[in-house]
Structure 1
Amino acid sequence: MAQDNEEAAADPTGLDIIVVTASVGNQTQIESSISVTSIDDSIIQNFQPQSEAEIFRLLPGIQTPGTSGPGGNANIAVRGLPVATGGAPFVQLQEDGLPMVLFGDIQFGNNDYWSKFDTTTASVEAVRGGSATTLASQAPGAVINYISHTGEKEGGLVQLTKGVDFNDTKLDFRYGGGLGEGLYFHVGGYFQRGKDPLGVDYTINDSIQVKGNLTKEFDDGASFLRLFFKVADTQGINYTGAPALANFANGEVSDIRAFPGFDGRSQTNYSIYNQEQLIYNRDGVFERVGINGISTDQQYIGAQLHWEFGDNFTLDNRARYSDVSGRFSSPFLNIATRGSVIGSTVNGATVAQIRYANGPSAGQVFTGALLDNNVNVTTNIRDLGAFVNDLVLAGEFDVGSMLLTARGGFFYMDQTIAMDWHVNRSTRELSGDNPAQLDLYDAAGNQLTFQGISGYNNNWGNCCARDYDLGYTNTAPYAQLVLDGDLFNFDASVRFERVAASGYTIAGGNTFLVSPDPSRPNLRIEAMTANGAREQLDYSRSYTSWSVGGLFKASSDLSIFARASRGGRFNSDRQTVGGKIANDGSLCTGAEALAGTNGCAADGVTPSVDFVNQYELGAKARGGLGGGDWTAELTLLKGDFSQSTFELSATRCPGGAGGCIIDSEYKSKGFEFFGTYRNGGLLFVANATYSDAQRKLSGAANFTKAPFIPDLSYSLSASYDFADIVTLGLSATGQTSVVDDALREYEGKTTFNASLRVSPLDNLELGVNVYNLFNTFDLRGNGATLVNGGVSPAIVSGTPVPGRNVSASVRLTF
């Protein structure tokens, strides 16, 4: 009942799977009055995801571009409620029922860094809205749960996958089985090393992950103790964007296509000439670090005790201790003209000339019309470890002809967030083929930069040369009542949340000059370090979330449900360095912010908790058609929320200045759909999300279309198995157009994947996968930008889907 997933894998399209995520734990999908979808590992593998974000595109209601890359850093919206700044503010990612990190939008620590799908995952289950608001913390939008194989069914596999037209090798493995009476285990993971389909000319993806569990069943045949462990040392590229050409007229950006010399489908601004950089570290000395995307170092141990007291009472306790650290180190992309740099002031002098700092043209004058002058960012994630425990006691009681289930729980999580940021001003050529760094010179020939860097830690101003060590303690008692009868069930749940914040944040101070090259003491570069304003956090907030719903069992194959929910999520580290923390460590009040007293410049109390209101009306059905079986789930949606958060970059701040507070109201209505059809060797899976999403900025009179949320996003997957020998697969994912902050519209597209699997011998499978079959230039990344609409063709910046690439695999099952 509680994570036994071999059954789920055997019936990936049925509605009889017991829901184990954010639920009472004894209802099937068709009997539960929540929107829940479970997809098993075979469906995910057929879809060929190249990042966690692409997996989430298989789930209705979850809206993410899917172009963040294998390292992570996706913006994950849900049900048309968009991401105001970054990350996944309303979505919690879980592994076996517990979150890896408490908050989904930790700055430079998004939750998709820490969970990687591999062969140990039996299924991915998503609950949107409903009980996600009350049976999980910080997840009013959705809970996405990676559920592990347990080894109750003996067997395993080894699979080797290699890129055919790109450099990448991955070895997946898993095995599970019995160790004795009532004792079984499962262990698996992967090794991966390569240069990514974007063709980085140094090893950028370099990962190992091993996960396992050991289960002991007790004599009653229902109670068990399960121990978990995970060891992961991962490194993966995060896609930082590319230039593109487009047609621009009447506010519409269309025919978006590759930029000459920088095709974002197969190229990137990661470069052998910029694969490491000097940072001015928190100890006040220069340190050379690699630019390797997103790296993680994780170890955890956990346990689940499921104990049944006779026929009526059940205790479940899940616990996990995690030791987590990592690094985010990437070259961000910005397109600028050479003329905008010539004549600008850098390190106290006027720029008169640009020369290549390295590469084959080192020392020569740069004469290109465009260049890339965005940041080289390195953030050291010193500690993101946590301890989490979730204790639940449930009882079942006969009430006349109905069954009453009462559930009471207590959740505790202590989350550390300790980082130091290093955002260097960088200049490089605009190229997708190992762009060289560019140095700047004054009219007298004096060099103003070093190795293409014109400033250390100061690219975004004193907001972001920060150093912090924060702690957040989340305690939450919660309760749920479910009354279940032959024709109806009703449920209500409530969660009392309290989050206490402690620790400190130090912002950047005044700039000063440093000499990065001891042999050239006269070369002085501006730098900034975290010796500025200090915030000491000492506050807590308490709030309540609730959800009520009911379901009508029209028949064994049709149910109809309705639900209303109000869920809160706490703004954690994004409250800092924004004038929201008072001198005494409390949150600033509106009156203090208005008066500018006690160190306050903004109201911290009002936006410290964002509340999401959601209303749902749904139907779940199944039946037969043409000799096969189908399922369908449709939910009509309406929701709203308001948010006030700190935006660190200049991309979305008014006036293009880094570091601002964005206040917004959002509302959305639409539907989500998930359907399957199985007939012999044919399996078809479809999902779609429609959203009429709108936003109103602070001070605006009216709502306008929300940026970067498509009206319709969808994925389709079909496979046909010919006599267990040959399997053909085809999948598609796409979306309609989106608008940017200025309401300019960018076209939407669809990309296709194809696969062929052949089993010449029992237990042996040979496979070929083709990603982006038609090499579509699909620019649906985390916010496209019109760089210059006054030229023809227009110049656009964004993150396209990787282009066509082919991989081959050999799998042995046993």
Structure 2
Amino acid sequence: MKTTLILLAATTALAPITAWADAPAPAAPDSPSAEAAADQPSAKGAFTTGVAKGRDLLDTAISASTISSSDLAKIGTTSIAEAVGNIPGIRAETGGTDGRTSITIRGLPLDADGSKFLQIEEDGLPVLEFGDLYFAGTPQFLRTDLSLGQVQAIRGGSASTFASNSPGGVVNFLSRTGEDNGGVLQVSSGVNYDLGRIDFDYGGKIDDHWRFNIGGFYHEGEGPRASGYQAFKGGQIKFNVTRTFDGGYIRLYVKVLDDREPYYGLVPVQIGGSNDAPQLSALPGFDPRTNSAWSKNIVNLQSLNQNNLPETINLQHGDHSKVRSFGIEAQFDVAGWTVTDHFRYSDISGEHNETSGAEFVPAAYVGAALGGPGATLSYADGPLSGQAVTNPAGLNGNGLAAVNTYSHADLNSLNYTVNDLRASRVWTAGSGKLTTTAGLYASSQDINVLWTFATTLNDFASGGNSTMLNVTTASGLPVTQQGVLAYELLGNGGLYHRLYDVNFRVLAPYGSANYQWGKLAIGGSLRYDFGKVTGAVYGSDLGGGRVGSGSYDFNGDGLISLPESQTALLPLSQPGSVGYSYGYLSYSVGANYRLAEDLSAFARYSKGARASADRNLFPPTFNPTTGQLASSSLAYSPIKQAEIGTKFRTGGVTVYVTGFWASTTDNNYQVGNDDNGATIVTAIDRTYSAKGVEVESEARKGPFSLRLGATYTKSKIDNDLYNPGENGLTPRHEPNFFFTAMPQFETRLVSIGANVVGVTSSFAEDTDLLKQPGYVLVNPFIEVRPLARVTALLNVYNLFNKLAFVELDSAAVPAGGIVNALTLNGRTITGSIRFSF
């Protein structure tokens, strides 16, 4: 461990988070609902995460939700982002796996990937200090399995004062801790795709003071989209043991994750029509719902590592995530104070591999375009390696080739140490109760990451049969080398080949006071974040005469080919030193009034911020000579928020309605596309505002239930420093309306229902020209409990096989009729059988 963190902190007076339902429907013994019940308190019960003393949600000025483990099973996906996207107010964009997702909340901007304004936690502590690290999003190092008890979420408000870098909210994945004796074993398999998985969880009491829980999963297979190889492989195991005593407990826990998944990134689709009403369809011979750009024929890629020595990248590793973590959690009473401590050290590493077309060219013309008149086109790999492409116009049924970009990141170290030690006390003050808190949070986040890029020539075939292509001039000169055009971004002189070796430290004292008097509760909280950033960065992007491109003889033939003459390298003798500090104050004040037993109203105003991480550590936002950011305002993005809401709960009906407003500044880099679809990197320095309404409700009547979450937002770019022509426009990827619904019929023997997800259209880029179509996905499920302790589950994701678009990478309909798109999976059917013991 790089540092020892011993802290004093206090649990917040945040309101408790409550369950979706007022009262869960009766569940059969040993059913998934019954299994989850032990870990899910009712809506009227006190919730313990992030609170000093539990209180009824109707007595608190905060918006919060939970998803039970049984509901997660019915949602029908193990994707972290898609699970989080079922929480009202939260928008998630993903291709169906856990790498490089984009998550935002309440209309806050999605300038880039990651979860910049939303903190994702596991067992009460962040998975990573920053949710938008390049090529290393938080969901990549988190998984769901049967050891998960529930997911809890706080939206807006006081989230900014009770966790660092979380002004938009906090989503917390909580593990089971062995409160009940017994275990579960589940075997799952794709019905119409190749992926097998086994999950297990077992826990219980050892004696009157000791209990434990152990669980995890393992999966392997090709997955829901064809790649031609075992794209999914790995799993995790989690263990915790708890010792209880009078007034408290102490818990030790460990987690080991070693898993790889493919990153389902951008692939080409056909586009026509107008910007307002684009017509999108799959390419002939390549349907993105069931195919990916990954292939059994494309395995390795050569590059130079962080020491400018050759290395071979295995592209089929996809997103490889490795975590070894150890934690301690404790709670005890001292002189009337309740003290809690959460500590965790995580050894985190891995790699990210991504592929996307940079420029699409008809295969019939690509030879002449790259090699001049008379140039020939041939296969660079696969069963036809070395043979000429005899019918390029009909290649794979679509006749398409692409100048392609492969992106690779060596995640050498994202090691993370964090501690939050809290104390709280409830005082009698007059005829009311005063809850006070005080505390300190500290963390140390390493970012040691190498970026590598290569430019290749690829085709697009179904069934995992895509290949790289070679071009040879009429005189016999190779333009490519095993399909590679350049061992860097073509024509960029080694730009973006970077090495980060930086450490971020955060120290944040915080505290709160909440007074409850009769029907009225008033509270406020403060937090001050001190940040210190040290280390070094390397790359020709730093300027100052640094050279980032050279030559290397990768095939060892003693000659330098055209691609080998364009090889990215690091100017190792010319690092840019990083050394700066920052600090900012966050606060939140709120009031709640219990109008009646079934009804309350609240209001809250908050100010928080999100510190910058790796995205500002190269010019023009960083000065490599001084080690300072170009401006102190780049160190963090402040956010102001206001919310007002009402909560109604009676019998089997629960309705929570919250109106919100937010304003923020964001300094970032946005990878986007111009009107012709060409990739561009744009510096962002903007202020945004968003307002809207979110509704969370549930109704239960006998065996019937309906859960509904809906969010309406109106977002706006208020002021763009670099592109004032975009002032007043709607930010990209911000739909006005999105919702989730789960109707369900449940008896002791069967549960039948569907998870329905809907999103209206949004703009592909900030220029507000090309619209991304909205979609509605229907994901039915059926659970059957034929025997005691046996449950069979069938999930269908995307029942109607909707071609649903998450991202279109073009500012307008391109003249070529091809656009890069990130899509959701097509219809996938998964069957599972679960045994309880």
TM-score over 0.5 for the pair: yes
> Contact conserved, 1:76 with 1:88, CA < 8 A, in 2?
yes
Are residue 438 (structure 1) and residue 469 (structure 2) matched?
Answer: yes
Which of the numbers 686, 690, 699 marks the counterpart of 1:668?
690
| Shift of residue 761, structure 1, vs aligned partner | 0.9
Structure 2 CA distance, aligned partners of 1:8 and 1:129?
27
Are residue 303 (structure 1) and residue 358 (structure 2) matched?
Answer: no
| Shift of residue 688, structure 1, vs aligned partner | 1.2
Are residue 755 (structure 1) and residue 781 (structure 2) matched?
Answer: yes
| Shift of residue 578, structure 1, vs aligned partner | 2.3
Tell me the equivalent position of 1:381: 411
Give CA-to-partner distance per residue, 1:10-47, whole Å, 9 cap, x none.
59694324344444442333322111111111111111
Are residue 511 (structure 1) and residue 549 (structure 2) matched?
Answer: yes
Structure 2 CA distance, aligned partners of 1:375 and 1:548?
48
CA, structure 1 residues 514+340, in 2 after alignment: closer, same or farther (shift >3 Å)?
farther
Which of the numbers 749, 755, 758 marks the counterpart of 1:731?
755
Secondary structure in 1 matching 2:37: helix
> Contact conserved, 1:15 with 1:30, CA < 8 A, in 2?
no
Tell me the equivalent position of 2:96: 69
Q: What amino acid maps onto 2:65 in structure 1?
A: T
CA, structure 1 residues 443+488, in 2 after alignment: closer, same or farther (shift >3 Å)?
same
Structure 1 CA distance, aligned partners of 2:42 and 2:700?
10
Structure 1 CA distance, aligned partners of 2:815 and 2:200?
53
Are residue 415 (structure 1) and residue 456 (structure 2) matched?
Answer: no
Q: What amino acid maps onto 1:457 in structure 2?
A: E
Which of the numbers 645, 656, 661 marks the counterpart of 1:633?
656
Which of the numbers 506, 516, 521 marks the counterpart of 1:474?
506
Are residue 713 (structure 1) and residue 751 (structure 2) matched?
Answer: no
Tell me the equivalent position of 2:819: 796
Which of the numbers 766, 771, 779 marks the counterpart of 1:745?
771
CA, structure 1 residues 690+393, in 2 after alignment: closer, same or farther (shift >3 Å)?
same
Structure 2 CA distance, aligned partners of 1:517 and 1:739?
45
Structure 1 unmatched runs, 5+: 589-602
Secondary structure in 1 matching 2:82: helix
| Shift of residue 693, structure 1, vs aligned partner | 1.1
Secondary structure in 1 matching 2:46: coil
Tell me the equivalent position of 2:425: 395
Which runs of structure 2 are paired with 1:312-391 in the superposition (5 Å)?
312-338=336-362, 341=366, 352-362=375-385, 363-365=387-389, 367-368=392-393, 369-391=399-421
CA, structure 1 residues 584+25, in 2 after alignment: closer, same or farther (shift >3 Å)?
farther
Secondary structure in 1 matching 2:139: helix
Structure 2 CA distance, aligned partners of 1:652 and 1:138?
32
> Contact conserved, 1:539 with 1:585, CA < 8 A, in 2?
no
Q: What amino acid maps onto 2:592 in structure 1?
A: L
Are residue 121 (structure 1) and residue 148 (structure 2) matched?
Answer: yes
Tell me the equivalent position of 1:36: 64
How many pairs align?
Answer: 784
Which of the numbers 581, 603, 606 marks the counterpart of 1:565?
606
> Contact conserved, 1:22 with 1:132, CA < 8 A, in 2?
no
TM-score, normalising length: structure 2: 0.89
Q: What amino acid maps onto 1:567 in structure 2?
A: G
Are residue 581 (structure 1) and residue 604 (structure 2) matched?
Answer: no
Structure 1 CA distance, aligned partners of 2:201 and 2:679?
49
> Contact conserved, 1:386 with 1:413, CA < 8 A, in 2?
yes
> Contact conserved, 1:375 with 1:425, CA < 8 A, in 2?
yes
Tell me the equivalent position of 2:454: 424
Structure 1 CA distance, aligned partners of 2:48 and 2:488?
45
Tell me the equivalent position of 2:180: 153
Are residue 56 (structure 1) and residue 84 (structure 2) matched?
Answer: yes
Give CA-to-partner distance per residue, 1:738-776, whole Å, 9 cap, x none.
112231212211011112221111001122221111111
Tell me the equivalent position of 1:168: 195
Structure 2 CA distance, aligned partners of 1:808 and 1:333?
35
Tell me the equivalent position of 1:552: 593
CA, structure 1 residues 11+376, in 2 after alignment: closer, same or farther (shift >3 Å)?
closer
Q: What amino acid maps onto 2:724 in structure 1?
A: A
Structure 1 CA distance, aligned partners of 2:331 and 2:104?
33
Which piece of structure 1 moves more, 169-178 or 659-668?
659-668
Structure 2 CA distance, aligned partners of 1:4 and 1:226?
24
Are residue 619 (structure 1) and residue 651 (structure 2) matched?
Answer: no
CA, structure 1 residues 790+449, in 2 after alignment: closer, same or farther (shift >3 Å)?
closer
> Contact conserved, 2:95 with 2:825, CA < 8 A, in 1?
no
Tell me the equivalent position of 1:704: 729
Give CA-to-partner distance per residue, 1:82-120, whole Å, 9 cap, x none.
221221111111011101110010111111111111111
| Shift of residue 585, structure 1, vs aligned partner | 3.8
Q: What amino acid maps onto 1:622 in structure 2?
A: R
Structure 1 CA distance, aligned partners of 2:374 and 2:43?
66
> Contact conserved, 1:787 with 1:797, CA < 8 A, in 2?
no
Q: What amino acid maps onto 1:180 in structure 2?
A: D
> Contact conserved, 2:672 with 2:810, CA < 8 A, in 1?
no
Structure 2 CA distance, aligned partners of 1:612 and 1:261?
47
Give CA-to-partner distance per residue, 1:434-493, whole Å, 9 cap, x none.
211012223322112222112223356544111121100000000111111220111101
Which of the numbers 103, 106, 117 marks the counterpart of 1:79?
106
> Contact conserved, 2:202 with 2:213, CA < 8 A, in 1?
yes
| Shift of residue 257, structure 1, vs aligned partner | 2.5
CA, structure 1 residues 21+784, in 2 after alignment: closer, same or farther (shift >3 Å)?
farther
Structure 2 CA distance, aligned partners of 1:423 and 1:151?
46
Are residue 276 (structure 1) and residue 308 (structure 2) matched?
Answer: no
CA, structure 1 residues 667+343, in 2 after alignment: closer, same or farther (shift >3 Å)?
farther
Structure 1 CA distance, aligned partners of 2:675 and 2:536?
25
Are residue 766 (structure 1) and residue 792 (structure 2) matched?
Answer: yes
Structure 2 CA distance, aligned partners of 1:652 and 1:88?
24
> Contact conserved, 2:634 with 2:667, CA < 8 A, in 1?
yes
Which runs of structure 2 are paired with 1:146-295 in the superposition (5 Å)?
146-218=173-245, 220=246, 222-249=247-274, 251-291=275-315, 292-295=317-320
Secondary structure in 2 matching 1:504: strand
| Shift of residue 350, structure 1, vs aligned partner | 9.4
Secondary structure in 2 matching 1:799: strand
Tell me the equivalent position of 2:23: none
Q: What amino acid maps onto 1:769 in structure 2?
A: N
Structure 2 unmatched runs, 5+: 1-10, 20-33, 394-398, 541-546
Secondary structure in 2 matching 1:64: strand
Are residue 495 (structure 1) and residue 527 (structure 2) matched?
Answer: yes
Secondary structure in 1 matching 2:206: strand
| Shift of residue 396, structure 1, vs aligned partner | 1.1
CA, structure 1 residues 413+585, in 2 after alignment: closer, same or farther (shift >3 Å)?
farther
Give identity over the alignment, percent: 26
> Contact conserved, 1:786 with 1:797, CA < 8 A, in 2?
no
Tell me the equivalent position of 1:596: none
CA, structure 1 residues 130+455, in 2 after alignment: closer, same or farther (shift >3 Å)?
same
Tell me the equivalent position of 1:598: none
